[in-house]
Amino acid sequence: MNVDVIAVGRLRDKALLALWQDYSKRITWPLALHEIEAKKPAEEERKILDRLDPRAHIFVLDERGKSLASRDFAKKLEDLSADGAPRIQFVIGGADGLPENIRKKAHFLLSFGAQTWPHMLARVMLAEQVYRAQQILAGHPYHRD
């Protein structure tokens, strides 16, 4: 199962970049980060849409989405893999969020809770949760209930 993260902005903060790199190295599933930079919202939207794979299961991170416990998130990924999903794509907007057109493309709106998180931190949190899901599915003791 291939995993893509399509994220608005370039991660320049060295501490957050180090965390992203650490988790991305731990993830054994093929993982790709696609950073979207644009000067105008319409250009940003077009670049995101160009990256979306019509065969992929698309998760859009959105504060109005559904929050999942880590085991439920892992189960969702496991079910998608069992159903033959060739690719999973996660879309993370910038500071102003994502346009409705992108949100409508989602198969699942995923929230990291009711609080608002900086979009650069959200990609690190996502990488950790993908790694955690992988470990849960492998029966590894990394996750503790």
Q: Give which of 36, 44, 59 is closest to 105, Cα–Cα.
A: 59
Contact 56, 116 (CB under 8 A): no
Q: What is the pTM of this model?
A: 0.94
Specify the number of domains making up the chain: 1
Whether 143 maps to a domain, the answer reads no
CA pair distance 55, 78, nearest whole angstrom: 17
Radius of gyration for the chain, computed over Cα atoms and rounded to the nearest angstrom = 14
d(CA 52, CA 42): 16
Is residue 144 one of the residues assigned to a domain? no
In a domain, 103, yes or no: yes
Q: Would you say residue 38 lies in a domain?
A: yes
Would residue 142 count as lying in a domain? no
**Res 97: pLDDT:** 87
Secondary structure (3-state) at 81: helix
Element holding 110 (H helix, E strand): strand 108-111
Supply the CATH number for residue 85's domain. 3.40.1280.10
Give the structural domain span for 6: 2-137
Q: List the pLDDT tens digit at each of the 145 positions of the chain.
A: 899 999 999 999 999 999 999 999 999 999 999 999 988 989 999 999 999 999 999 999 998 999 999 999 999 999 999 998 999 999 999 888 899 999 999 999 999 998 888 889 999 999 999 999 999 999 977 766 7
Residue 131 lies in a domain: yes
Paired residues of 58 in beta bridges: 89
